[in-house]
Amino acid sequence: MPPVLKRHLAPQTGTGFLVREGQLLRITDPQGEQVSDLISFARDDSREWLSSGRTIDYANTIYLTTGHTLYSNRSRPMWTIVEDAVGRHDFLLTPCSPETFTIIYGTTGHHPSCFENLAKNLAPFGIAPDVIPTTFNVFMNVVVTPSGELQILPPRSKAGDHLLLRAEMDMIVGVTACSAELSNNGSFKPIDVELLDAPPEPPARGDLRSAHAASAPM
């Protein structure tokens, strides 16, 4: 089935779009070692948003992968991870912002950031910058040492690796190709985003039987 939406995100950019319950979102790292920040809000009430805290509470792990559910701040399922070619993503760190580069990197002057790219692309959907929470950082490789220190390591994603998520409600969604040097092993690369309609449900057994009975000679 061809995707209903297909976007190639240039390095250090983002996008915003709507999804319906049941649709599948595929995020692909076409060149490898690139992070993509994902955030979403309920379409009928944007005060409901993807929650790192709720998700980690219920999964009881910081390393989310195939089979895990990503929850909203109202503890409703927003996404299910259906396929995961990489097995390492981060849900602890906020999207990189102008201040991230000032405070951590000591950058002077403007530096592109996921936060700005999400704010810009979610504004048309009525999402204000101040309500953008911790993002699900696809392919970001963060390790917690025994002392509690966080280490940001190069992503484990290789060229063509992807993450596939099923939407569990109608949502407003933002996705980026991350702008931070630390997250992406010192370089910036593109991200590919595809939205697919849900595969058709196989007919229920009762339907099959009645269809057969109807076509059988009397």
Contacts with Zn ion by CB under 5 A lie at: 96, 114, 178-180
Residue 150: CB minimum distance to Zn ion, A: 15
Nearer to Zn ion, 24 or 27 (CB): 27
Q: Is 112 left (phi over 0), alpha (psi -120 to 50) or beta?
A: beta
Write out the DSSP string of 109-160: S----HHHHHHHHHGGGT--GGG----EEET-EEEE-TTS-EEEE----BTT
Nearer to Zn ion, 88 or 166 (CB): 88
Placement of tokens 């530096």 in the chain: 111
Residue 206: CB minimum distance to Zn ion, A: 50
Integer Cα distance of 81 and 71 in angstroms: 11
Q: Which residue(s) pair with 7 in the sheet?
A: 193
Residue 121: CB minimum distance to Zn ion, A: 13
Report the DSSP pairing between strands 141-144 and 150-153. Answer: antiparallel
Cβ atoms within 10 Å, residue 115: 22
Residue 115: CB minimum distance to Zn ion, A: 8
Nearest to 65 by CA among 46, 88, 37: 88
Residue 87: CB minimum distance to Zn ion, A: 20
| H or E element, residue 100 | helix 98-100
Residue 182: CB minimum distance to Zn ion, A: 9
Nearer to Zn ion, 23 or 176 (CB): 176
Backbone angles phi, psi at 102, to 5 degrees: -70, -45
Nearer to Zn ion, 72 or 179 (CB): 179
Nearer to Zn ion, 96 or 119 (CB): 96
Nearer to Zn ion, 84 or 116 (CB): 116
